[in-house]
Structure 1
Amino acid sequence: MDETTDASPSSKLHTRLRLWEFPDSYIFEPIDGLADLYLSVSRTSGTMNLVQDLPSRGPTTKHKVQTVYGVIGVLKLAVGSYFVVVTDRDCVGSYFGHAIFKVTGLKVLPCNNAHNTTSAEQKKMESEFSELLDAAERTVGLHFSYDINLTLSAQRLHDLGDEYRALPLWRQAEPRFLWNAYLLEPLIENKLNQYLLPVIQGSFQNIQAEVGSEKVNVTLIARRCTRRIGTRMWRRGADAEGYAANFVESEQIMQSKGFTASYVQVRGSMPFLWEQIVDLTYKPSFDIVRQEEAPRVLERHFHDLQKKYGAVLAVDLVNTGGGEGRLRERYAKSIEPILSEDIIYVHFDFHRVCGHIHFERLSQLYDQIKDYLQKHKYFLVNDKGEKIEEQTGTVRTNCIDCLDRTNVTQSMIGRKILESQLQRIGVFGAGDTISKHPAFDTNYKILWANHGDAISIQYSGTPALKGDFVRYGKRTTEGILNDLRNALGRYYFNNFVDGTKQDAMDLLQGHYMTSVSRDMAVPSKAGLLESYASFRLAFALVMGALMFMMMSLRQARNDVRHLLLSLLWAGFCIGITHFVRANGRTFTNRPRFHKSRH
């Protein structure tokens, strides 16, 4: 199955560039034989031009040279531009015969030599942004191809006309999944088509297995939607337009005996306005915002899904009681007016039914959704490229984070679909399952476990919980201990790291813009408490007070005044602890560009 036609040399993307760093310019020299012109970028203004020759270099000319593998885009800030380039990549597999690469190295090239002439206020602003640019260089999960549109599923690629396939890759891209759409704008304006490299954030994994005499290739792709991109606690629910947080399209592709089959399912936060702002507690309370708007927001979300996927089965895995129960009730009540044959809602209390170890009980959920899966089928083409089956509906799964419970559930659905596909093309016999082929079963579990870990790291900062069940088919002591460590890691990232990370994401996506050509907004100024509040300082003061209290208690036997002094230090500890708890939100790492919907 070949989904692309050969592009003309003038439209092919550059795969290797030699980057020359001169004092006044950056020069990108194509070394892939696709062009003779060089891209020159001014380090003062960020202006771009195609030139025929390198600048003259004398014996005293200082320059650096390195190989880069693409330009992610350009970020325009108030006092300069920043080019984001790929400095390292790994080939992680192929998509219909075309190589797929994972970005393993990013570099931000500043074009702000004019910084010396800017105002003190702009200098301060740019200094603050430098921390965000450092965070941007650490972005994970970026994937790209020089030859094929990675933003579209196999079914949508198959349905494209030849005229559409002939367009440059960035013109073909699905806007929701084009991670660098905003960064590409300056390159598009300058018509630098050979430098317009479309990038997705997500994951790409592949396994191969042998079933009897047949080889089976399984690929799993995650495509993260950028509309409401963000971190675990700072992006919950949906926005007013119906775009949900942590919305990810997962596509499982099977190739064997000349057949290609695909199944797409999605995950995303419960699609109405709600939030869970960190406040140093382990599990902050859920807050439903503007409840009266929930039906409208939810309707927008599901109608958008219908346009793109057809029928939608919403599987809600949250708890029946507690704070999660309040969200479930709002979800169920708000979706009720739009329920139909094409929009179905199923609630399955994952924790009540499966607990923490009996995940095999997910078969109860499968029994509820089996008829829907069989009705809406999957995408299938034969060795001639002829479509035999078409997927006409998807499953939308959510828990609270849309990570751990969701990944376990999606892996179960993916397994059932894959078994059905293999039976259909004759690789499996009737009643045959993946678990009857130990090597295939092991690799398939690892495939989905890695998929879940990649999505989880991008959203929460840690691998997925419950990953041992997905990876090994059972809960293990090591897995439970890993879950404890990852849960503590999530607490740390959510409270003390993710605010800055959220700002960096918003900056790269153009959700916050500080461009000289656009309205320029300054990050909100912190109040007096916010300016000086520091959890590290408070923690150091408490530990210091505890140390002095213990020292005083040791001396209390000889002098009663030390007993009073120890009580004073104890009171100091309690006072600081109470103050920090009462002002928990102030002591967390909060996004400066984020505003609560209250």
Structure 2
Amino acid sequence: VIGVLKLAVGSYFFVITDRDCVGSYLGHAIFKVTGLKVLRCNDSLNTSPEQKKMESEISELLDAAEKTMGLYFSYDINLTLNSQRLYDVDDEFKSRPLWRQAEPRFLWNSYLLEPLIENKLDQYLLPVIQGSFQNIQAEVGSEKVNVTLIARRCTGRIGTRMWRRGADAEGYAANFVESEQIMQSKGYTASYVQVRGSMPFLWEQIVDLTYKPSFDVVRQEEAPSVLERHFKDLQKKYGAVLAVDLVNTQGGEGRLHERYAKSIEPILSEDVRYVHFDFHRICGHVHFERLSQLYEQIEDYLKKHKYFLLNEKGEKIQEQLGVVRNNCIDCLDRTNVTQSMIARRILESQLQQIEVFGVNDTITKYPAFDASYKVLWANHGDAISIQYSGTPALKGDFVRYGKRSAQGILNDLQYSLARYYLNNFADGTKQGCHGSSSRTLHHIC
């Protein structure tokens, strides 16, 4: 049971009808929702014409709800918390019902659960996240390496691509996603968390049938306070923050970059750093290997703030002390390429530390492992992109195969045209349900 939606025309029951086991999270089975049904609870023969009209209008949204993608759950572990946070909670916390353990930012069905919570139906309450869950296994010499990649989408400032940009007054950023990479080998468990999210101040793009609508910064005087609110929340949850800004320095993106750099300046410190890397100017459309220049700029930060690591006895021997926050305009394509590069370097460090790798070994030394790992991150990026933009990620051929190809560039053109169509002729309906029905339908659509 996912929950109950109460509308003026009646109540609707959301239930999972099909599931697939997609792997395990710290030893506990994880399931992907493959069938979702919306059931009307209270059919009435005395429905008024106005109610019938209203129900007809929302039926399209309810049909869309049944097609919601990227939902995952577990019956016996809190999937909303990353490994480090889960390790640090006490036994009393773990003894609570799963819904009470859930991190509100990543509890996709929080609103739907409210009627069941009010009636104390704990045994029926199933926390669900939206995002992605990918897993690979590889053999490195005589050792087996298991890598899991989880995306957790934030429910704050939820919405579709051009209809949800920037941050709101509370500091919630559009398309904010926590990505956790977990490595298990030789009895060790390591975890590394990155986040992505729209530039955290008030800005928007008004859809007007142009291919790239202009960017507008709204209430510019509030940008520093909104941004500070966002970064304080990140520091509270993750420790130190390194903001990696991948947008262009020219045109509309350049104006947003200037606003971001200027607004973050007052809070820069030892624990809040800002790095700008003009991805398109430096890497162009084919030379993504030049991301090594970015790595050289942030390597000291990554080494200083480490990653979470448990030994063979399940004891914590290291923790992650900071997070990299990545953004481009959509926080999809350039962002996913960059996150996959950082995650690869971290994974190599982890495997070197537990002596699965030699001191100078890299993943590319093991072709089968390398190929599987690229697909892992490509699928991760595609899942997030489909949920925000309606299409797979651009530049996915580089993440998937390690190089750009003519077919990949043609795919990007096709996806770009599809995004244009969705932005102008489909996403508005989805976004409209935020105001016309309920925030839950907005999350779903």
Smaller-chain TM-score range? over 0.9
- Map Cα deviations across residues 48-74 of structure 1 (whole Å, 9 max, x no partner): xxxxxxxxxxxxxxxxxxxxxxx1110
Pair 509,149 (structure 1): closer, same or farther in 2 beyond 3 Å: farther
> What amino acid maps onto 1:96 in structure 2?
L
Q: What's the offset of the Cα at 1:511? A: 8.1
- From 158, 161, 169, give the equivalent of 1:232: 161
User: In structure 1, what is the equivalent of residue 192 of structure 2?
Assistant: 263
Mapped to 1, the partners of 2:35 and 2:224 lie a distance apart of 43
| Runs of 5+ unmatched residues, structure 2 | none
- Mapped contact 2:65–2:441 kept (Cα < 8 A): no
Q: What's the offset of the Cα at 1:117? A: 3.0
Mapped to 2, the partners of 1:503 and 1:442 lie a distance apart of 41
User: In structure 2, what is the equivalent of residue 82 of structure 1?
Assistant: 12
Mapped to 1, the partners of 2:427 and 2:442 lie a distance apart of 16
Q: Aligned ranges for residues 119-158 of structure 1 at < 5 Å?
A: 119-158=48-87
Q: Secondary structure at the match of 2:404?
A: coil
**If you compute each CA radius of gyration, which structure gives the higher value, 1 or 2?**
1
Pair 508,434 (structure 1): closer, same or farther in 2 beyond 3 Å: farther
- Map Cα deviations across residues 323-362 of structure 1 (whole Å, 9 max, x no partner): 0000000000000000001000000000000000000000
How many residue pairs get aligned? The number is 443
Q: What's the offset of the Cα at 1:122? A: 3.3
- Map Cα deviations across residues 172-192 of structure 1 (whole Å, 9 max, x no partner): 000000000000011111111
> What amino acid maps onto 2:195 in structure 1?
V
Q: Secondary structure at the match of 1:113?
A: coil
User: In structure 1, what is the equivalent of residue 204 of structure 2?
Assistant: 275
Q: Secondary structure at the match of 2:22?
A: strand
Q: Aligned ranges for residues 170-319 of structure 1 at < 5 Å?
A: 170-319=99-248
Q: What's the offset of the Cα at 1:137? A: 1.1
Mapped to 2, the partners of 1:492 and 1:508 lie a distance apart of 25
> What amino acid maps onto 2:250 in structure 1?
G
CA root-mean-square deviation: 1.4
Answering whether residue 33 of structure 2 is matched by residue 103 of structure 1, we say yes
> What amino acid maps onto 1:365 in structure 2?
L
- Mapped contact 2:17–2:36 kept (Cα < 8 A): yes
User: In structure 1, what is the equivalent of residue 398 of structure 2?
Assistant: 469
User: In structure 1, what is the equivalent of residue 419 of structure 2?
Assistant: 490
Answering whether residue 97 of structure 2 is matched by residue 168 of structure 1, we say yes
User: In structure 2, what is the equivalent of residue 478 of structure 1?
Assistant: 407
Mapped to 2, the partners of 1:490 and 1:208 lie a distance apart of 34
> What amino acid maps onto 1:107 in structure 2?
K
Answering whether residue 325 of structure 2 is matched by residue 396 of structure 1, we say yes
Pair 441,193 (structure 1): closer, same or farther in 2 beyond 3 Å: same
Q: What's the offset of the Cα at 1:501? A: 2.0
> What amino acid maps onto 2:77 in structure 1?
I
Q: Secondary structure at the match of 1:81?
A: strand
Mapped to 2, the partners of 1:484 and 1:95 lie a distance apart of 36
User: In structure 2, what is the equivalent of residue 338 of structure 1?
Assistant: 267
- Mapped contact 1:267–1:406 kept (Cα < 8 A): yes
Q: Secondary structure at the match of 1:442?
A: helix
> What amino acid maps onto 1:240 in structure 2?
A
Q: What's the offset of the Cα at 1:267? A: 0.1
> What amino acid maps onto 2:173 in structure 1?
A
Q: What's the offset of the Cα at 1:278? A: 1.1
- Mapped contact 1:261–1:379 kept (Cα < 8 A): yes
Mapped to 1, the partners of 2:23 and 2:108 lie a distance apart of 20
Q: What's the TM-score, normalizing by structure 2?
A: 0.97
> What amino acid maps onto 1:169 in structure 2?
L
Mapped to 2, the partners of 1:316 and 1:392 lie a distance apart of 20
Mapped to 1, the partners of 2:72 and 2:156 lie a distance apart of 18
Mapped to 1, the partners of 2:347 and 2:43 lie a distance apart of 55
Q: What's the offset of the Cα at 1:134? A: 1.1
User: In structure 1, what is the equivalent of residue 378 of structure 2?
Assistant: 449
Q: Secondary structure at the match of 1:229?
A: coil
> What amino acid maps onto 1:277 in structure 2?
I
Q: What's the offset of the Cα at 1:287? A: 1.0
Q: What's the offset of the Cα at 1:512? A: 7.5
- Mapped contact 2:433–2:442 kept (Cα < 8 A): no
Mapped to 2, the partners of 1:510 and 1:94 lie a distance apart of 28
Mapped to 1, the partners of 2:406 and 2:35 lie a distance apart of 35
- Map Cα deviations across residues 184-205 of structure 1 (whole Å, 9 max, x no partner): 0111111111110000000000
> What amino acid maps onto 1:181 in structure 2?
S
Mapped to 2, the partners of 1:472 and 1:501 lie a distance apart of 34
- Mapped contact 1:255–1:261 kept (Cα < 8 A): yes
Q: What's the offset of the Cα at 1:140? A: 0.5
> What amino acid maps onto 2:399 in structure 1?
V
Mapped to 2, the partners of 1:379 and 1:161 lie a distance apart of 18
Q: What's the offset of the Cα at 1:508? A: 6.0
> What amino acid maps onto 1:242 in structure 2?
G
- Mapped contact 1:242–1:301 kept (Cα < 8 A): yes
- Mapped contact 2:4–2:115 kept (Cα < 8 A): yes
Q: Secondary structure at the match of 1:236?
A: coil
Q: Secondary structure at the match of 1:117?
A: coil
Q: Secondary structure at the match of 2:68?
A: coil
| Runs of 5+ unmatched residues, structure 1 | 1-70, 514-590, 592-598
Mapped to 2, the partners of 1:385 and 1:402 lie a distance apart of 35
Q: Secondary structure at the match of 1:375?
A: helix
- From 43, 49, 55, give the equivalent of 1:113: 43
Pair 437,498 (structure 1): closer, same or farther in 2 beyond 3 Å: same
Pair 91,494 (structure 1): closer, same or farther in 2 beyond 3 Å: same
Q: Secondary structure at the match of 2:160?
A: coil
Mapped to 1, the partners of 2:179 and 2:440 lie a distance apart of 25
- Map Cα deviations across residues 456-496 of structure 1 (whole Å, 9 max, x no partner): 00000000000000000000111111101111111111111
- Which stretch shows the higher mean deviation, 271-280 or 496-505? 496-505
User: In structure 1, what is the equivalent of residue 280 of structure 2?
Assistant: 351
Mapped to 1, the partners of 2:382 and 2:200 lie a distance apart of 23
- Return the structure number with greater relative CO, CA threshold 8 A, min gap 6: 2
> What amino acid maps onto 2:401 in structure 1?
Y
Mapped to 2, the partners of 1:224 and 1:512 lie a distance apart of 14
Q: What's the offset of the Cα at 1:121? A: 3.1
Q: Secondary structure at the match of 1:297?
A: helix
> What amino acid maps onto 1:235 in structure 2?
R
- Mapped contact 1:141–1:203 kept (Cα < 8 A): yes
User: In structure 2, what is the equivalent of residue 40 of structure 1?
Assistant: none
Q: Secondary structure at the match of 2:394?
A: coil
Mapped to 1, the partners of 2:95 and 2:68 lie a distance apart of 31
Mapped to 2, the partners of 1:512 and 1:217 lie a distance apart of 36
Q: Aligned ranges for residues 1-12 of structure 1 at < 5 Å?
A: none
- Which stretch shows the higher mean deviation, 497-506 or 453-462? 497-506
User: In structure 1, what is the equivalent of residue 429 of structure 2?
Assistant: 500
> What amino acid maps onto 1:350 in structure 2?
F
Query: Percent of aligned positions with the same letter in both sequences?
Result: 83
